[in-house]
Structure 1
Amino acid sequence: VAGISFTRDQMYFRTSLDAPRYKVMRVALARPDLSQAVPVIAPGRDVVVSIAAANDALYVTQRRGVITTLLRVPHAQGSRQVNVEQIALPISGSALLVDVDPQLTGAVLSIAGWTRASKPYFYDPAGKKIALLNLVRPGAFDAPQDIEAREVSIKSHDGVEIPVSVLVRKDTKLDGNNPTIVYGYGSYGITEEPFFSPRVYAWLERGGVYAFAHVRGSGALGEDWHNAGRKATKSNTWKDGIAVAEWLIANRYTSRERIGIYGGSAGGIFVGRAITERPELFAAAVPSVGVMDMVRTESSANGVANIPEFGTIKKEDEFRALLAMSSYHHIKDAVKYPAVMLVHGVNDTRVDVWQSAKFAARLASAQTEGKPVLMRLDYDLGHGQGGTRTQQQLQSADIWSFFLWQFGVAEFQPK
């Protein structure tokens, strides 16, 4: 059971039992026998993300790929018949149930998209309308009209279809010349749901392409998707990222001279193993607060907490999996690696800064092409949480500038 919600006489629960993308069941509180639970949302293609009961109905969010749909299921006491209504959302993107009360009707939601900033909305079941709540002052960059998101699926190394969200300017030409970043994470079942980032918009404004790779290890397609990029299957995470880069090049979004790879924290595996397995594919890479030595991670203060996701060195099969996903251990001498900038907050208590320092030292000693291996260290930052807006903007500016420098963009070359 991954989530529950109550009315005065019923309990709804979200479960993965025989349903890797989850299902919703209902049981009477007077007889809370789970074997007698009534199905409300059957398992299917979409991932059930959350449930919340209001006075009028159960509200359910589902996700197909990374795009959320909102369902309303009116309460039906004592009946096994279920009526499911789909509520049309004002934009295509993500929807979060923010406030739903079993004593009140309707639901308050936060809705966002790749090209639209998050805003609060209220669904009124009486009028069957969803309306914007004027609680947030409009921002200058809340809804830029010159960019768009393209949802695509590409085949990975084993034929599995990988969902990818490609953010571009509407006037982008597929001429193989666009500066492009492949971003990925792929751990803990976490999904990069649509959100608008002014800092990513700055990259797109300059004609860049930004591709969110929803690789295995994430939760984009449910718990099976998560488990397909975990421990012994972790290699799918970076191989999916490699496949995304190859697709972007093949479809002329960019070229090998103008593509980079970026990820943070556990996304350091995504970045580090992609460039150590296919160093010729990328012009530049940025692991941010990345886990680069998986063999030694368990001995760090936060290491034991990550055993369920990655494994332990105390079991042979899991040690071998950790070694396979450890970027540090796959650096080879006399190889032409891409340019790399490792970003880290020195006060990071989640991923120790030595992870970046150790990887940088080994990579610099092995690098033969003369490409830079840099470290961007901030002594007033940790893992990222709590950073000020100014710190985040400066960090993004440095990362974008590093990529554009390595892609040969004229304005960013040293003088």
Structure 2
Amino acid sequence: MDKYSVKCLQCGEVQDPYSLACSQSDDSLIRTYYSSEQLEPTDMPGIWRYYNWLPVEDIIEEGSGRTVTYKSEKLASALGLTNLWVAFNGYWPEKDAYLMTCTFKDLESFPTMQRLREQDEKRVMVVASAGNTARAFAHACSITGQPLLLVVPEESAHRLWTTHDDNSSVCLVTVKGDYFDAITLAGKIAARDGFVNEGGAKNVARRDGMGTVMLDAVLTSGNLPDHYFQAVGSGTGGISAWEASMRLAADGRFGNTVPKLHLGQSLPCAPLYSLWKGSDAVDAACPDGIYDDVLFNRKPPFAVKGGVKDALEATDGDIYAVSKQEAADAQELFESSEGIDLIPAAAVAVATLMQAVEAGKVKADDRIVLNITGGGQKRLAEDYELKLLPVFLSVSADDEDAEDRIVTAVMEKLGA
């Protein structure tokens, strides 16, 4: 394709543009390289404003929103900062923010769905999630009609709401277990005939979609930031920010130094923090006790080529561990100062910024981007009815027949 190519970071070989991994190496991510070396925003709606740096040939116009970046005044003042930019991902019509699932996972789901359409994919897409990603893919599939199987931990079912009346293309399966159990089961099902895996961190559409957070922040503020803050579970959002920053640095108009990544995790379930610091910050009962369990992934893409470790080393970044009390205090501060509600994961990002300020890791006049990965759910509920997706099937992670039961039931319902 003339618009972009996809290459393996390990061997450098060009891959099929729709591939999820290198045909020669399993221990490396693949990455998109765009023919347009400078970012040229379009007049297309939502995330498609950044069409030239998204690995798609067409767009899904309906239901697509994007990040809205603004310069903070009240939160910045409370923290003693003069150049703090908030990249808000959620529903906040007063600021023209219309991500209808109130999470930046919308930025992943729409490019991923568009690539499936380009491949004329009829199989059932399988998505494992702790809640927010599943909600975003349900939103996109309710628009496109793509058959979708969501596999989520039982404790996450309350996050699976939608504003759509017709969700007939979506099957929700809950697992008595944690996120890793859901991932494991989903992976087995995706390998079966009639099903297809969306790819997770390996999917360039997901990473480049999330990378539009950085694109919006830099276009709005005019420069690459000195620091970038985000709460992470798998860390894929941090990888995405790094990749987008490298493209922007190569553009040449926004500065040539990529920002330091400051990634936050929630105690007592912080695997990435443990891997980076060489400590043990993962309680045996995890994800119990965590401020938001969407931030817990037992098997994050840390050491893989192009993964979290590489991103942190390349940007001189760091990972922080945030207590429940710190996250709660940060949520209260943000909501009272900025005037919009947060999803709990975003509060961890605010707490991470507060830790960095207190430790002197950022200066008062540094350019800072704070990624609010989700917010405005309470605001959305004022304008729309939020309908819980019905649970299609509930299984145990220890059930040896769970895979077969799910496959049979889903194929009968969706007719794939």
TM-score category of the 2 structures, normalised to the smaller one: under 0.3
Who wins on radius of gyration, i.e. which is larger?
A: 1
Quick check: which one's helix share is greater? 2
- Between the two structures, name the one with larger relative contact order (CA 8 Å, sep ≥ 6): 2
Bigger strand fraction: 1
TM-score, with normalisation over the residues of structure 1? 0.26
Query: TM-score when scaled to structure 2?
Result: 0.25
